[in-house]
């Protein structure tokens, strides 16, 4: 039976009888709402690196305001109320919308002005509007300062709209000093590019109201930000760091002297040029998150994703492995060409190609996307309970299997992937990489009870960072061999840290 503690599933209680002290003028509180964790995956997933949303907003706060940060998913209890904030900013995503609205109601009833932002607010504006004093639609960083000034003068408007076309390089670096020490594997969440050249029909980036052109920050900005964190490992949160190969190559050459390691999400076509993958490895890339989505080419076409043929995926995975870069493969189940055999076929492929980790999702029609509109028009949506639109529940009728078959297949994939047998089967070819791979696999994949303990006691960094440092040193040795080997002879290993796990 899957271990599923209450505090990983149910948000902290908000005391209805509590009457805090007076509002503190020019004090803002930023909240990341709680969401239930999927016990079939790793409870450590959400503490590997923090979201950039709130720390970026915090960086735009006027100097005459004080500001606090609170992430309910760190299991430290309900958000603070002393001092009581004049403004509460809450980021809203689909599956945590109900909790965000409950928080908004609690703070508004006690005198705070509540500002909501995030992708769900953009997609479901009318729904969100009744829960807030003001909504930030689009890019919130450029709106935050103006909204706070309007609070001061009593002129706060119901809706503010940010423009994603404004130069991304002009935004200030995030306020990482606000993050609680010890709660994350790394606080170095970085972003170099914004937007995506793909418009996959199931992705939030395809929401009709999201107009986000592809932009790149100056390479020097990104490098300086990574250097300033003093962290040995960073996670790039870009939708696809490899969308512009020329930019990625320039970035990699600038990152190389730092002698740090990092991971990122890229599309599989970055392997079109193996020399670029080699540049990534020499710059410190140890892991990539790749959205393969499906091994069925018809599903890829239907989704509108620009991707090489699935028959060529295995060869392209070897390009990463040959350069010491581990692959976390993302797969989506429930496409219209999926049948009950898709689960065993996908896991067999993962094991055959020795992927360090894989992430599975049930196809989820996010509001405002082409997929949502199509399934709604076909009468295939089962409900609109946003809490269950989290890629681990079936919320529509699949075409060639029952909802129960899809649910059971998804759960089976994680049971198999996290099994001793599968972990051992996927061990690296390089025997030197086996021990660190096993350490990562068991700590990350099979340690939910430990993860809960680490999160509650803010020990995530203390436990993980020695392993990260070992990985960094090992990768530096690997890089020297790779640089000296002009023929780039195949070798697998690199690091134990994987992107997006």
CB-based contact 498:471 (threshold 8 Å):
no
- HEC string of 112-173? CEEEEECHHHHHCHHHHHCCCCEEEECCCHHHHHHHHHHHHHCCCCCEEECCCCCCHHHCCC
Q: Where are the beta strands (DSSP E) in 167-308?
A: 189-190, 193-194, 215-216, 233-236, 261-266, 285-293
Rounded to whole angstroms, the Cα distance separating 308 from 312 reads 7
Closest CA to 327 of 355, 352, 308, 295: 355
Q: What value, to the nearest 5°, has the Cα angle with vertex 100 and ends 6 and 22? A: 105
Dump pLDDT digits (tens) for 358-387: 999 999 999 888 899 999 999 999 999 999
Closest CA to 32 of 53, 48, 62, 16: 53
Rounded to whole angstroms, the Cα distance separating 400 from 345 reads 16
For tokens 């006027």, the residue is 62
- The CA-based diameter of the chain, rounded to the nearest angstrom, is 70
**3 vs 34, 170, 417, 442, 446, CA distance in Å?**
19, 46, 17, 16, 11
Q: pLDDT at position 117, please?
A: 94
Range 10-14 average pLDDT = 95
Q: Is the per-residue pLDDT at 220 higher than 90?
A: yes
Which tokens hold the place of 484?
A: 């000296």
Q: pLDDT at position 301, please?
A: 92
Range 68-73 average pLDDT = 97
Helix (H) or strand (E) holding 220: helix 219-229
Which tokens hold the place of 193?
A: 């590019």
Q: pLDDT at position 2, please?
A: 74
Q: Count CB-CB contacts under 10 A for residue 275.
A: 11
Bridge partners, residue 285, by sequence: 262
Rounded to whole angstroms, the Cα distance separating 140 from 163 reads 9
Task: State the DSSP code for 95.
Answer: G
Q: What value, to the nearest 5°, has the Cα angle with vertex 8 and ends 7 and 10? A: 60
Q: Is the per-residue pLDDT at 421 higher than 80?
A: yes
Helix (H) or strand (E) holding 67: strand 66-71
pLDDT band (50, 70, 90) for residue 429: confident
Dump pLDDT digits (tens) for 238-265: 999 999 999 999 999 999 999 999 999 9
Domains and CATH numbers, the chain: 6-168 (3.40.50.280), 187-484 (3.80.30.20)
Q: pLDDT at position 490, please?
A: 46
pLDDT band (50, 70, 90) for residue 496: very low
CB-based contact 465:185 (threshold 8 Å):
yes
Collapse the DSSP code of 345 into the 3-class scheme (helix H, G, I; strand E, B; otherwise coil) and give the result. helix
Q: pLDDT at position 430, please?
A: 82
Rounded to whole angstroms, the Cα distance separating 299 from 338 reads 8
Dump pLDDT digits (tens) for 337-350: 999 999 999 999 99
Q: pLDDT at position 499, please?
A: 42
Dump pLDDT digits (tens) for 435-486: 888 988 888 888 999 999 999 999 999 998 888 998 999 999 999 999 887 5
Task: State the DSSP code for 339.
Answer: -
What residues contact residue 193 under an 8 Å CB cut-off, 6+ apart?
214, 215, 216, 217, 238, 239, 240, 241, 243, 244, 247
Q: pLDDT at position 494, please?
A: 47
- HEC string of 273-292? CHHHHHHHHHCCEEEEEEEE
Q: pLDDT at position 498, please?
A: 45
pLDDT band (50, 70, 90) for residue 432: confident
CB-based contact 382:396 (threshold 8 Å):
yes
Dump pLDDT digits (tens) for 465-475: 888 998 999 99
CB-based contact 398:370 (threshold 8 Å):
no
Q: Is the per-residue pLDDT at 166 higher than 60?
A: yes
Q: Give the mean pLDDT of the chain.
A: 91
**197 vs 92, 200, 361, CA distance in Å?**
24, 9, 22
What residues contact residue 308 under an 8 Å CB cut-off, 6+ apart?
268, 269, 316
Closest CA to 351 of 292, 418, 286: 418
Q: Is the per-residue pLDDT at 331 higher than 50?
A: yes
Closest CA to 224 of 196, 195, 248, 260: 260
């Amino acid at each position: 039976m899957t271990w599923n503690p209450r505090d990983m599933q149910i948000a902290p209680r908000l005391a209805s009888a509590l009457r805090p002290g007076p509002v503190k003028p020019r004090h803002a509180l930023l909240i990341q709402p709680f969401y239930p964790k999927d016990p079939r995956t790793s409870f450590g997933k959400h503490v590997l690196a923090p979201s950039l949303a709130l720390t970026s907003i915090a960086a735009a706060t006027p100097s005459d305001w004080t500001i606090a940060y609170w992430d309910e998913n760190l299991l430290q209890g309900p958000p603070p109320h002393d001092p009581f904030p004049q403004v509460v900013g809450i980021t809203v995503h689909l599956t945590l919308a109900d909790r965000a609205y409950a928080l908004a109601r609690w703070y508004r009833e006690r005198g705070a002005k509540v500002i909501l932002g995030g992708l769900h607010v953009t997609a479901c504006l009318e729904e969100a509007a009744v829960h807030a004093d003001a909504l930030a639609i689009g890019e919130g960083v450029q709106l935050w300062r103006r909204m706070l000034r309007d609070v001061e003068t009593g002129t706060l408007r119901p809706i503010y709209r940010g423009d994603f076309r404004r130069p991304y390089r002009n935004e200030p670096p995030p306020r990482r000093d606000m993050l609680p020490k010890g709660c994350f594997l790394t606080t170095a969440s970085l972003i170099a590019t914004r937007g995506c050249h793909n418009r996959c029909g199931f992705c939030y980036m395809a929401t009709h109201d999201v107009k986000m052109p592809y932009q790149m920050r100056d390479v020097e900005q990104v490098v300086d930000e990574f250097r300033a964190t003093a962290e040995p490992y960073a996670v790039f949160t870009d939708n696809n760091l490899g969308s512009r190969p020329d930019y990625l190559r320039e970035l990699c050459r600038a990152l190389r002297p730092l002698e740090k390691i990092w991971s990122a999400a890229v599309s599989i076509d970055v392997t079109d040029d193996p020399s670029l993958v080699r540049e990534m490895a020499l710059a410190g890339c140890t892991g990539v998150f790749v959205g393969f989505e499906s091994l069925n080419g018809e599903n890829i076409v239907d989704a509108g994703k620009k991707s090489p043929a699935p028959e060529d995926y295995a060869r392209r995975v070897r390009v990463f492995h040959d350069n010491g870069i581990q692959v976390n493969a993302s797969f989506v189940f429930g496409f219209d060409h999926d049948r009950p055999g898709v689960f065993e076929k996908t896991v067999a492929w993962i094991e055959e190609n020795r992927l360090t980790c894989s992430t599975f999702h049930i196809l989820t029609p996010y509001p405002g996307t082409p997929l949502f509109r199509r399934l709604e028009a076909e009468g295939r949506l089962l409900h609109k309970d946003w809490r269950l639109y989290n890629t681990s529940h079936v919320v529509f009728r699949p075409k060639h299997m029952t909802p129960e078959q899809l649910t059971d297949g998804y759960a089976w994939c994680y049971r198999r992937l996290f099994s001793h047998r599968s972990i051992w089967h996927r061990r690296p070819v390089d025997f030197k990489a086996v021990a660190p791979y096993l350490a990562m696999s068991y700590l990350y994949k099979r340690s939910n009870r430990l993860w809960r303990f680490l999160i509650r006691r803010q020990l995530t960094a203390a436990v993980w960072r020695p392993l990260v440092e070992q990985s960094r040193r090992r990768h530096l040795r690997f890089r020297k061999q790779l640089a000296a080997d002009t023929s780039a002879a195949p070798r697998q290993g690199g690091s134990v840290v994987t992107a997006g796990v």
